[in-house]
Amino acid sequence: MKKILSLFFIAGILLVQPVFSAEVKKGGIQHIDLTFEQAYELMLENNNKLKAYNELIKQMKFEKRSALGQFSPKVVLNATYIHFDDNLTLTSQGSMKTPFSPTPISFGAQTLIQDKNVFTAGGAVVWNIFTGGKLLSNHAAARAKLEASNEKYREVQDELTLELVKRYYGLRMARDVVEVRKQVADGIGQHLKDAKLLEKEGIISKSERLHAEVAYADAMRDYKASLRDANVIEEGLKTLIKAQDANLKDVCIQPNSLLFVYDDSTIDIVAMKENVKANNPQLKQLRAKKKALNAKYHAKMANYSPTLSLFAYDVAAASHLSEAFPRAAIGGTANWLLFDGFSRYNDVKAANSERKMVDFEISDAEYNLESLVVKQYQELMKYKEQYDSSSKSIENAQEALRTSSLAFKEGFGTSLQVTDAQMMLSKVKIERLNSIYNYDVTLADLLKTNGDTKAILNYVSNSKTEKF
């Protein structure tokens, strides 16, 4: 993807099927049409936080393999050099009688048993055949930690997706607000032209024209402020998708996925309430943590059991090693700790309390999540109702503007009535945009709680909500 984008920007032409639709507008600034799906893919590809947690998953996989390796025999190669203070010898005692001695004469003969310098090289195999279940517990703990890391990755991905919805559709709304503000400025600008003409003809007073000029200046100020607001939001979106990595840093992004609203039947709140306990990644992390703590508890209990091991060794090469020493051996060992000052007892108690604590956390999370789903759904319906009612409000505001403008041109209305109607129309349009934006963010948040934030892509792709 990066290679295609780089070629696209270097060449400055449109490909037959480009990743982005590009256009150079006034001022030489390149404008890029970016869909939500494209922004989503860029975020997944470039976000360093996701990359970091992907490395965590790799780490947990290796730790799981390490725990599994503890079941295998251990093969060790070794080399040893020993320097004794002196040679090891055996003295043989003897005696003899001579004609010249009334008592036997003692004498000793020394036999070299071991040279004082010894070098050996060989190998050994050690296999722990019984540990009281400690190895099984360690492997179960590693498996649970891997499960937790996968759910943590999914949680982070859900959080970033929600943030993308906020920033992408925040920019979409900001661009729409700019358009609304421009319409207001253009409308009041036309009203100012009419006011100047009517003043010249003596139909309205100077104060009416001055009011129109003040209103136009206010409208232009609001329009320019909306442009600055959109630029700030755009930078936030670029930061999230790491626009510099996609050669989008110095372009103007135009989000062309529409703000959307669906009817009540599209959101299956009953299914969400049923599935949230099974799908929520934070809750699944707690359950994985409980598995790991259960394994930890059983590992502590295993310390009460004896341990059994088999071993074998062979000296493959030796220098100055006495033939009296064995070159190979097999055997077994058993260890059983009988008393340790109640250390194991307290370790078991601590591990048991730790896993009980997680039980309370899980129970509390399950209750809160179900309540949160209901709360978020109610908020979603609130914004849906606001959106539904906004259509009638816009119709009324448009009619008020039409009648006030007509009355002003005929000398029966005031400039204040026209500008107030124009501002009221912009107000209800922006409120409509706010209700749609809040609906989209709340929907994404609801999906995040349900552990299915990626489903927002389906809603986006099937959206048909008209522009303001």
Predicted confidence (pLDDT) per residue in 222-278, tens digit? 999 999 999 999 999 999 998 887 788 889 999 999 999 988 777 888 888 889 999
Domain 35-73+132-306+340-461 superfamily per CATH: Outer membrane efflux proteins (OEP) (1.20.1600.10)
Q: How many helices (H) and strands (E) does the chain have?
A: 10, 9
pLDDT tens-digit series, residues 266-313? 788 888 888 999 999 999 999 999 999 999 999 999 999 999 999 998
List 114's β-bridge partners, or say none.
88
Q: Which two tokens stand for residue 81?
A: 């050099």
How far apart, in whole angstroms, are the C-alpha atoms of residue 20 and residue 248? 10
Domains of the chain, by residue range, sit at 35-73+132-306+340-461
The answer to whether 37 and 461 are in contact (CB under 8 A) is: yes
Residue 115: name the closest of 77, 144, 87, 75 by CA. Answer: 87
Measured at the CA of 363, the angle between CA 357 and CA 367, to 5 degrees, comes to: 145
The helix/strand/coil state of 410 is coil
| pLDDT, position 23 | 60
Q: Does the pLDDT of residue 28 top 80, yes or no?
A: no
Residues with Cβ within 8 Å of 422's Cβ and at least 6 positions away in sequence, in order, are 184, 187, 188, 191, 215, 219, 401
Q: What is this structure's pTM?
A: 0.83
Q: What is the Cβ-side half-sphere exposure of residue 198, based on CA atoms within 13 angstroms?
A: 26
How far apart, in whole angstroms, are the C-alpha atoms of residue 32 and residue 356? 54
State mean pLDDT over 312-332: 83
* Torsions phi, psi for 412 (to 5 deg): -105, -10
Residue 372: name the closest of 303, 297, 304, 447 by CA. Answer: 447
Name the more confident of 58 and 391.
58
How far apart, in whole angstroms, are the C-alpha atoms of residue 20 and residue 254? 10
Percent of the chain residues past pLDDT 90, beyond the cut: 70
The helix/strand/coil state of 121 is strand
The answer to whether 152 and 53 are in contact (CB under 8 A) is: yes
pLDDT-derived band at 2 (thresholds 50, 70, 90) equals very low
The helix/strand/coil state of 424 is helix
8-state DSSP, 110: E
